[in-house]
């Protein structure tokens, strides 16, 4: 999934994950898209500061409607 596809899916209310369901991608109250580890609660931005380059491979992102 591209950054735009991920953001659109989240905005539609779909659950998006990176690598496994332990890493959900969410949108916070400031409108930032974040990848969070559910074990440690540590999070990073979905993208680098350029807003385009993903913090992960496109092929590692999936929705709850796609198999991991």
Rounded CA separation 39/4 (Å): 26
Domain encompassing residue 27:
3-63
The answer to whether residues 60 and 43 touch, using CB atoms and an 8 Å cutoff, is no
- pLDDT confidence of residue 58: 96
* Residue 59 located in a structural domain: yes
pLDDT confidence band for 66 (50 / 70 / 90): low
* Residue 19 located in a structural domain: yes
Strand partners for 17: 24, 62
Burial 1-40 (b: 16+ CB within 10 A, else e): bebeebbebbeeeeebbbeeeebbbeeeeeeebebbeeee
- pLDDT confidence of residue 67: 55
Total count of domains within the chain? 1
Take residue 10 and report the two structure tokens written for it. 């989240």
* Residue 52 located in a structural domain: yes
- pLDDT confidence of residue 25: 98
Residues 15-65: pLDDT tens digits?
Answer: 999 999 999 999 999 999 999 999 999 999 999 999 889 999 999 999 987
* Residue 68 located in a structural domain: no
């Amino acid at each position: 999934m591209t950054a735009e596809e991920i953001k659109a899916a989240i905005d539609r209310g779909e659950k998006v994950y990176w690598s496994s369901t332990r890493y959900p991608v969410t949108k916070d109250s400031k409108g930032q898209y974040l990848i969070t580890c559910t074990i440690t609660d540590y999070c990073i931005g979905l993208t680098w500061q350029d807003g385009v380059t993903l913090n992960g491979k496109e092929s590692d992102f999936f929705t709850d409607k796609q198999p991991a």
